[in-house]
Amino acid sequence: KAGVTQTPRYLIKTRGQQVTLSCSPISGHRSVSWYQQTPGQGLQFLFEYFSETQRNKGNFPGRFSGRQFSNSRSEMNVSTLELGDSALYLCASSPGLVTDTQYFGPGTRLTVL
Amino acid sequence: QKEVEQDPGPLSVPEGAIVSLNCTYSNSAFQYFMWYRQYSRKGPELLMYTYSSGNKEDGRFTAQVDKSSKYISLFIRDSQPSDSATYLCASFQGAQKLVFGQGTRLTINP
């Protein structure tokens, strides 16, 4: 079974721009979660989608948004990029039950200049 | 205060040593505990998943949860250079919402 895939793997943007990251979950998985990983804050939960609905949300500003499509693929968007948004953005998929194991993708490394 | 605390290390041990990695947590409602391993430039991969208190063993890895002291541990026996990675403890705070420790960077020296 193919794992979680994320595109692009690397991205360089400038302050004020916006960016869209994509995640394809493991086949059959209906839940997709997004995390931000930085050296200072570690791994922090952004949001989770299940069957196209946002089921849970972390403490991030409204500039961070996401969506999920009917095929379970998910995108996250960051608008008006700030230098502090430079991070590794990780996507994780699971079958969808509340405590199901999450399987992570390789991440998208975003650098904001 | 973070809900899951973990010493970031770094931790360096010789090959063959027993490694002990530890986390503490503050939320007594936490029931499920995980250990992930993350190699450089990769996403985290699940090593161990435990429920409530007790021990779980998988090959050279043993996960231990003590809910009375809110303490979780991962032991690695006969450590190998390939075990060099960052180890992250985590728990579910809500539906599919994982809360992670800071991660401990481990190096096994040949």
pLDDT tier for residue B2 given thresholds of 50, 70 and 90: confident
Q: Find, in chain A, the residue whose alpha carbon is nearest to that of B88.
A: A43
Instruction: Say whether pLDDT at A49 is over 90.
Output: yes
Q: Do B98 and A104 touch (CB under 8 A)?
A: no
User: Which one-letter amino acid corresponds to residue B90?
Assistant: A
> Average pLDDT for residues B28-57, to the nearest whole number?
93
Choose the mutation target among B30, B46, B49, B96 for the interface with A, i.e. most A CBs under 10 Å. Answer: B96
Mean residue pLDDT of chain B comes to 94
Of A45, A103, A104, the CB nearest to B97: A45
Residue B93 near residue B82 (C-beta atoms within 8 A): no
**Around Cβ B107, how many Cβ atoms within 10 Å?**
14
DSSP string, B30-46: --EEEEEEE-TTS--EE
pLDDT tens digits, residue range A1-16?
Answer: 689 999 999 999 999 9
Structure tokens at B85: 């990675």
Cβ contacts of B5 on chain A, cutoff 8 Å = none
Of A43, A56, A103, the CB nearest to B100: A43
Give the residue from A88, A103, A101 showing the smallest Cα distance to A2: A103
**pLDDT in the model for residue B52:** 84
Beta bridge partners of B39: none
**pLDDT in the model for residue B68:** 92
Q: Do B96 and A103 touch (CB under 8 A)?
A: no
Cβ contacts of A89 on chain B, cutoff 8 Å = none
Q: Find, in chain A, the residue whose alpha carbon is nearest to that of B43.
A: A106
pLDDT tier for residue A89 given thresholds of 50, 70 and 90: very high
**pLDDT in the model for residue B12:** 97
Cis omega (within 30 of 0) on the bond before A8? Answer: yes
For tokens 């973070």, name the residue: B2
pLDDT tens digits, residue range B22-31?
Answer: 999 999 999 9
